[in-house]
Amino acid sequence: MRIDDPKTQFETVPAGEAEEIDETSKLGIVLQDKRAREDPSQQGRLLRGVHAKSHGCVKASFVIRDDLDEAHRVGLFAHPGKVYEAWVRFSNAAVLREDDLKADRDGKRQNGSRGMAIKIFDVDGDMLSADNGRNNQDFLMINTPEFAFANVRDYLRLNRILERSTRGDDPTPYFLPAALAQLGQQAEGEPADVAAKRQFLEAAIANDPLLKDLSAADMNGTLASAKVAGKIAQQTVRNPMQVQYFGAAPFLFGDGQAMKFSAAPCPATAQIPFENITADDPSKDYLSEALAATMSGDQDIAFDFKIQVRSVDAESLNIEDATTSWPNELANYVDVARIIIPVPQSPHTADALEHCEKLAFSPWHSLAAHRPLGGINRLRQKVYAESACHRKAEGY
373 binds ligand HEM (CB under 6 A): no
142 binds ligand HEM (CB under 6 A): yes
Q: How far is the CB of 269 from ligand HEM (least distance, A)?
A: 22
With CB under 6 A as the contact rule, the residue among 50, 205, 229, 302 that binds ligand HEM is: 50
Of 47 and 211, nearer to ligand HEM (C-beta) is: 47
Cβ-contact 327, 354 below 8 angstroms = no
303 binds ligand HEM (CB under 6 A): no
Q: How far is the CB of 107 from ligand HEM (least distance, A)?
A: 29
* Window 321 to 340, contacts with ligand HEM (CB under 6 A): 322
* Window 12 to 31, contacts with ligand HEM (CB under 6 A): 24, 28
* Window 70 to 109, contacts with ligand HEM (CB under 6 A): 89, 91
With CB under 6 A as the contact rule, the residue among 155, 253, 333, 396 that binds ligand HEM is: 155
SS3 46: coil
Cβ-contact 291, 57 below 8 angstroms = no
With CB under 6 A as the contact rule, the residue among 27, 141, 211, 309 that binds ligand HEM is: 141
Q: Binding residues for ligand HEM, how many (CB under 6 A)?
A: 31
The dihedrals phi and psi of 385, each to the nearest 5 degrees, come to: -60, -40
Q: Please work out, in degrees rounded to the nearest 5, the angle formed at the alpha carbon of residue 104 by the alpha carbons of 36 and 384.
A: 35
Of 25 and 135, nearer to ligand HEM (C-beta) is: 25
Q: Evaluate the CA torsion angle 270, 72, 2, 85 in order and state its sign.
A: positive
Interatomic CA distance for residues 93 and 236, integer angstroms: 14
Of 205 and 360, nearer to ligand HEM (C-beta) is: 360
Interatomic CA distance for residues 392 and 388, integer angstroms: 6
Q: Residue 22: which residues within 8 A CB-CB, separation 6 or more?
A: 382
49 binds ligand HEM (CB under 6 A): yes
With CB under 6 A as the contact rule, the residue among 341, 376, 378, 396 that binds ligand HEM is: 376
Interatomic CA distance for residues 153 and 140, integer angstroms: 22
Task: Please state the three-class secondary structure of 264-323 as a single string.
Answer: EECCCCCCCCCCCCCCCCCCCCHHHHHHHHHHCCCCCEEEEEEEEEEECCCCCCCCCCCC
* Window 240 to 299, contacts with ligand HEM (CB under 6 A): 247-249
Q: Evaluate the CA torsion angle 285, 360, 342, 72 in order and state its sign.
A: positive
With CB under 6 A as the contact rule, the residue among 72, 260, 370, 380 that binds ligand HEM is: 380
Of 310 and 380, nearer to ligand HEM (C-beta) is: 380
Paired sense of beta strands 83-92 and 114-120, if any: antiparallel
| Whole-angstrom Cα Rg for the chain | 21
The dihedrals phi and psi of 307, each to the nearest 5 degrees, come to: -135, 165
Of the candidate spans 165-173, 284-292, 299-307, 388-396, the one that interacts with ligand HEM by CB under 6 A turns out to be: 388-396
Q: How far is the CB of 270 from ligand HEM (least distance, A)?
A: 26
Catalog residues that contact ligand HEM under the rule CB under 6 A.
24, 28, 48-51, 89, 91, 115, 117, 140-142, 147, 155, 247-249, 322, 359-361, 376, 379-380, 383-384, 387-388, 391, 393
